[in-house]
A and B are shown apart, each in its own frame.
Chain A
Amino acid sequence: MPVPDAATLAKRERIIAAMRAIVPGEGVIVEAAALRPWESDALTAYRQPPMLVVLPETTAQVSAILTWCHAENVKVVPRGSGTSLSGGALPLADAVLLGLGKFKRILDVDYDDRVAVVQPGVTNLAITQAVEGRGFYYAPDPSSQIACSIGGNVAENSGGVHCLKYGLTTNNVLGVELVLMDGEIVRLGGRHLDSCGLDLLGVIVGSEGLLGVVTEVTVRILPKPETARAVLVGFPDAEQAGACVAQVIAEGIIPAGMEMMDRPAIHAAEAFVQVGYPLDVGALLIVEVDGPAAECDHLIAEIARIANENGAVTSRVSTDEAERMAFWAGRKAAFPAVGRISPDYLCMDGTIPRRRLPEVLRRMEELSAHHGLGVANVFHAGDGNLHPLILYDANIPGQLDAAEAFGSDILRLCVEVGGVLTGEHGVGIEKRDLMPVMFTESDLQQQQRVKCAFDPELLLNPGKVFPTLHRCAELGRMHVHHGALPFPDLPRF
């Protein structure tokens, strides 16, 4: 992370006083012991207590905080529920941690137009809970949905197991109220579809808290499908499971969810939750379809046929809701289950073209041997999003470094086969230094120029996403060849 700025640290008392003037009462946290719980997000390998925490309750307060920090050149790190897996909300020693946890209200629901207007601190699951009585739900369902906030989902463009069919956060957000680093409040999008002008909303979603602080979100809600059914299929190896996935999609079926687990993941999950996963298979697929019963029956039969054609050795169709939930219980418990067989694990998040899966798994085994660490794989098979869980023990010197090196090698492999560094967890601090593996310097500079359009002083969530911080003035220059600007006579502004 950037070296803390001594001048900022020196004026901490003045910053505290200014924040207390904006947010009265308990909303400013400054004691060392009280700051400890804020020192990391869900990427717990990185810890740094913030300079102070401020918990505003209104957009006007957020605006006043940012206006003051902007004027005083103080950095700000926004935070939702702190469930980021990439360190997106990791505090800085010289920055104000701006928590949106008190923005807890659901402001409006319009069932006719199928939108909900909510504050950013509302949890993902709470949106669904607020509308399910009328038969609706909010579709993106990251695994942390019980805790993660919708504001954080917007920042990270969160996904979930159902996003092949229902999209990521970006496909389900219609509008935001946003406070820029200089305190200006803007509204992007709204309750209607497709605003004219540049799609600034589109670039805010997934911007990892670097472009603005979201203070209100308008989301689409969807009618809950009539029913859902799942089938659990075992294959001798991942290659056959992958071929099955490809054929399901080639035959025109987009399942609500399609998850794959490899042998180590299957064994860890079964040992943890005992839901009857077959233990003698090399790969397990859970395929879920949703919709009217007539549709589910039809599709389940089709998927069972395709699975058999691709060498399935076991196949179970859920007969009731309890059984369907049991199929998912193992998959959903995969991370804690791996946590039982290994003291620590790192969760990676690359996406690959699905056709390269067998090769990627084979090379991952080679990497596993090379680094001397085990790996278990869970995989959003429909969209190619791979979650290798690297097993290590932080108490053994050198293992964290080895695990991180292994993880980096896996992500390089993902990019090499035509994929990406992160499918849903975000770049944050974790994958920041790998960005040049996927993007050239000119690609990254173009992204940073967008950052400069929103936050030219680079005060908002600095140190995340980009491996090198270029000053905006430097990025604004035209490229220099052999010490000479092109077109030296041209006026520049």
Chain B
Amino acid sequence: MTPVYLQRGALQCALSNDLAGASQAMAGGQRAEGRPFALHELRQPRTYLNVPGDDVSLDQRLDAVVAEALGADHGALSDCLLIVASTSLDITALETLAGDQGQFLPSDSTPLDLVAEQLRSRWGFADAFTLNTACTSAANGLLYGARLLASGPFARAVVLAFETPSALAMQGFGALDLLSPSGHYRPFHPERDGLVLGETYAAALLSLEPGDAPLARLLGGFSACDTSSLTTTREDGSHIDWVMRQALKSAERTADAIALVKLHGTATQANDHAERNGMLSLYGEKMPALCVLKPWLGHTLGACGLSETLLLMQALQQQQLPGLDYAAEASLPLSGEPVVLSDGAVLLANFFGFGGNNASLVLQCVGGAP
């Protein structure tokens, strides 16, 4: 694959309303304050990680991160593609409508491309579409956005990824018994008890050119569908292993060239088990440095491919990626000490999702330690 730069990124997440602040907060050991909610009927409490600030509309949030990613001097966007990656889209507005009306009518349903079309019209993007492959949506947005740039039709691409605090998601994952009762988000911990959902709004500007201060370089990636189960991937990790190998092949790198693997790590029993097996298949016992980011961001579902990539690359560039406080107890050798990578170091980032979608990205540090 032709390498593509992440020229600029913007992130609003539970840690902070900006990327630099989120990275600093993570480095300082700060965890986001979760907000409790109750599962309907069961009346059991669960935790949700909200973005700071309640009185900001979805349009305001999206415009803010798009503006930040584009930069002040972006000019006309007639050469720029927009890819919207989200599982929630406008669902919180529809939830409010259903609650207010006491029903939801077929005519209340909005098109799945509504948000993308509104943004295209408002900002003047050359083209826009919504990509939805569950929790790999944004990872696929980065991968296909980068490849569309290299194939010619666009000079720039903005990948916009977000997840709103949707009642359907909170109650739906609750109904599947996948949410953490303890609220302690601990992927790969032997006593992990599920995921904690998180809100996020993120955008990245992709280009073949580095720009003034690029955040990272995307070297390759791969995405495919494991058809063994709609909600889990193969327990033996074989599909995850295959996807990681194909991602490395697309980037013309080998597994031993990888300095760090950012694991998907949802902290559900099945996902962590399968990912552990996939890592053991690829690396055996001798693994590169490993990290997870969901303890800080929550699981940002379809947006995690971008929210986690941006936070990871910013933290590495600023030498702020902390160790994990429970690393010694984890079922994979996660780093307990801060991870520092040098300029040009290559890493792998995993993202898996419902619908059998598994994706891996190969990223390169730009900046970081000399």
A-B complex is real = no
